[in-house]
Amino acid sequence: MNVILFKLTLLLYLAATAGYLVYIISQQKPAGRVALGVAIAGFFFHTATIIVRYYEAGYAPVTNLHESLSFFAWALIGGYLYIHVRYKVKNLGAFATPIAALSMIASSTLPKKIVALPPVLKSYWLPIHATVYFLAYGILAVAACAGIMYLIQERQIKKKKFGAFYQRLPSLEVLDAINYRCLTIGFPLLTVGILTGSLWAEQAWGAHWQWDPKETWSLVSWLFYAALLHERLAVGWRGRRAAIMAIIGLGALLFTFLGVSLLLKGLHTYAGWGV
């Protein structure tokens, strides 16, 4: 059942992506409205997918790569919808939905079978630790989308060369505000993610911190975002630098999420291919 819902969600995200691309090219408002409707429907079915899988599997579906990529996409769309409602910016969808759709496509190619949970994951920490982390990933991915849009728009205004994007992208100040808002939501989540992970590690492996690659990399990305937040608040970093930082930050997160699981060996390897 969850697989059928998953496929439906994937289709809806692809349709929303197509709708947003049509909208950003044609600038016809109905296209944007339809795309938003489809994205909301997709988010709805996605939520259902996750709940159904939770019941079918008996544990929070954030254990293997199929599940986590899908959950990341869910958090990303959720974050996007929140920002969309809050800031009413146009065309953010054209940047956010393709990432979610890609993540879902990647997820769909991976084994979807529900397998018995490895003993080490049987803990009430699993839903908390992983969910909080992916929520952070989702909202920080939206920050990176806003960052990309900022860089495009800023370049046009600075260089005084106005391309097709100039009319289509929102103002710099709004994009920067989104960046900041996502950071203030994402960073606390990231912090909670690390702390719960550490507590869980204490319980499962007997030590809070063992410098396993995943731990190391999540600390690196946490420090990175901490630096960005600090500079924003203390020195008033904003604009281009903050946008670049948000994009690099997401890169570090994605490496923590995917790169470490797939390339490096460590305690967290169960989060790998899921085979």
Partner 1 sequence: MPDGASNLSIVLIGLNHETAPVEIRERLTFGGDRELPFTLIRGILFVREFIFLSTCNRVEVLMTTPDPANAEMEIKKVFTESNGIPLGDFERCLYIYHEEEAAKHLFRVAASLDSMVLGEPQILGQIKDAYRQATDQKTSGVILNRLLHKTFSVAKRVRTETGICSHAVSISFAAVELARKIFADLKGKRAMLIGAGEMAELASEHLISNGVAEIVVANRTLERAIDLAQKFKGRAVSLDEVYDQLSKVDIIISSTGAPGLVINYDNVKSVMRARKNRPLFLIDIAVPRDIDPRTNEIDNVYLYDIDDLKGIVELNKAERQKEALRAERIVEEEVIKFKHWLQALDITPIIVCLREKAEQIRLKECRKTLSNMGSLTPEQEKAVHVLTASIVNKMLHDPITYLKGKSSREHKDIYLDFARQIFNLNGESGDIEEE
Q: Residue 157 or 223: which CB sits closer to partner 1?
A: 157
Residue 31 interacts with partner 1 (CB under 8 A): yes or no: no
For the CB of residue 29, give the shortest distance to partner 1 in the complex, in Å: 10
Which residue, among 8, 21, 16, 22, has the nearest Cα to 35 in the 3D structure?
Answer: 16
- SS3 letters for 115-172? CCCCHHHCCCHHHHHHHHHHHHHHHHHHHHHHHHHHHHHHHHHHHCCCCCHHHHCCCH
Number of residues that bind partner 1 (CB under 8 A): 20
For the CB of residue 238, give the shortest distance to partner 1 in the complex, in Å: 5
Considering only the stretches 43-51, 132-140, 195-203, 238-246, report the one whose residues sit in contact with partner 1 under the rule CB under 8 A: 238-246
Residue 85 interacts with partner 1 (CB under 8 A): yes or no: no
Q: Do 149 and 83 form a contact (C-beta atoms < 8 A)?
A: no
Considering only the stretches 10-18, 120-128, 152-160, 261-269, report the one whose residues sit in contact with partner 1 under the rule CB under 8 A: 152-160
- H helix or E strand, kind and range, residue 187: helix 172-205
For the CB of residue 157, give the shortest distance to partner 1 in the complex, in Å: 6
Q: Residue 58 or 163: which CB sits closer to partner 1?
A: 163
Q: Residue 116 or 167: which CB sits closer to partner 1?
A: 167
Burial 208-232 (b: 16+ CB within 10 A, else e): eeeebbbbebbeebbebbeebbeeb
**CA–CA gap between residue 70 and residue 104 (Å, rounded):** 6
- CA distances from residue 80 to 1, 65, 86, 141 in whole angstroms, order as listed: 26, 22, 10, 9
Residue 229 interacts with partner 1 (CB under 8 A): yes or no: no
Residue 162 interacts with partner 1 (CB under 8 A): yes or no: yes
Residue 177 interacts with partner 1 (CB under 8 A): yes or no: yes
Considering only the stretches 1-9, 75-83, 133-141, 159-167, report the one whose residues sit in contact with partner 1 under the rule CB under 8 A: 159-167
Candidates 2, 97, 103, 153: give the one binding partner 1 (CB under 8 A): 153
**CA–CA gap between residue 3 and residue 52 (Å, rounded):** 9
Which residue, among 147, 141, 119, 20, has the nearest Cα to 63 in the 3D structure?
Answer: 119
Candidates 172, 192, 248, 254: give the one binding partner 1 (CB under 8 A): 172
Candidates 238, 264, 269, 272: give the one binding partner 1 (CB under 8 A): 238
Which positions touch partner 1 (CB under 8 A)? 153, 157-158, 160, 162, 166-167, 170-174, 177, 235-241
